Amino acid sequence: MTTINDVIAEIDGSVGVAAEHFGGGDKISHDPDGLYFTASTFKVPLLVELYRQVDAQEIDLERRVELTDSLRVPGSGVLRELGVGIQPTLYDLALLMIIVSDNLATDILYHTVGRDNLNATMERLGLANTRLPMSCRELLFSLAGETDVDDSLDSFQRVGDAVEAGYRGLSPNCDALNEDLSDVSSPNDMIRLLGMVYKQELLSADSSDSVLHILKRQKLNSIIPFYLPPGTVVAHKTGGVKSVRCDVGIVWSPSGPYSVAIMAKKIGDATDLDSKLARISRLIYDEMTAS
């Protein structure tokens, strides 16, 4: 019978896995405390910090933000394609940040909650492996070899072209791929944070429900949900940049819900990578439902 370690052995890179059943407490892990680049899965801690500030009455989700050219961020999302002048609410931006991984929406929220506040909350929660010093713009500019992060349309176009080209010519020594300078976490930190949300240990009941409601509407489903039985409810967020691929979330299985984080780095040959990570997800599901 194929095991999780068997599938990990097929992957050209490093893989960390953590999963925990909320009912029985069963755990599955492989390098669970290893340090991994978050890519867009950092949007989960950001969403949690947004709602923490909502609960503290420091942020109103109905506040509107006018989009301007200077706010544009390359990479994933739809807002960067739209004309200036539209005014989405902060709640609209939270939805877009998660369900289509919108980078422009993410950076508006990142600067709204505050870099220092976000990292202070992760530290206060004891998530010692989670450090989120880079916005999407900073991360993508670094990957594209742009040393000056500015808001000019020329820079936006250059970085956008580099992203579309798959970061050809990328230096492996860029800040975005430096564990001391980039956005990082660990599988255990991610499932602990998700567990705090599910168990309503961090946010109010309404905010916890809203976070899960948003994560359940994820449209990028090539990893955790891909091989699960049709109709399985999953609240999750994917992430991926050059040599990095992740997915973290909560799965509602017949035996009850469990949290799961699958994180990969230093990927060489990415052939069928999502499919392999999705097989790991299915093996976790089978173990969790058998318990």
pLDDT of residue 83: 81
pLDDT of residue 152: 56
pLDDT of residue 175: 87
Q: Which domains does the chain have, with CATH numbers?
A: 4-290 (3.40.710.10)
pLDDT of residue 165: 56
pLDDT of residue 243: 87
pLDDT of residue 131: 98
pLDDT of residue 74: 76
Tens-of-pLDDT digits for all 291 residues of the chain? Answer: 889 999 999 999 999 999 999 998 899 999 999 999 999 999 999 999 999 999 999 999 999 999 988 887 877 888 988 888 899 999 999 999 999 999 999 999 999 999 999 999 999 999 999 999 999 989 888 887 766 665 555 555 665 566 665 655 566 678 888 999 999 999 999 999 999 999 999 999 999 999 999 999 999 999 999 999 999 999 999 999 888 999 999 999 999 999 999 999 999 888 899 999 999 999 999 999 986
DSSP string, the chain: ---HHHHHHTSSSEEEEEEEETTT--EEEESTT--EE-GGGGHHHHHHHHHHHHHTTS--TT-B----GGG---SS-SGGGSPTT---BHHHHHHHHHHS--HHHHHHHHHHH-HHHHHHHHHHTT-TT-B----HHHHHHHHTT--S----HHHHHHHHHHHHTT-TT--TTSGGG-TTTS-EE-HHHHHHHHHHHHTTSSS-HHHHHHHHHHHTT----SSTTTTSPTT-EEEEEEEEETTEEEEEEEEEETTEEEEEEEEEES-S--TTHHHHHHHHHHHHHHHHHH-
pLDDT of residue 123: 97
Bin 153: left if φ > 0, else alpha if -120 < ψ < 50, else beta: alpha
pLDDT of residue 24: 81
pLDDT of residue 150: 59
Q: Are 242 and 143 spatial neighbours (Cβ–Cβ below 8 Å)?
A: yes
Q: The pTM is what?
A: 0.93
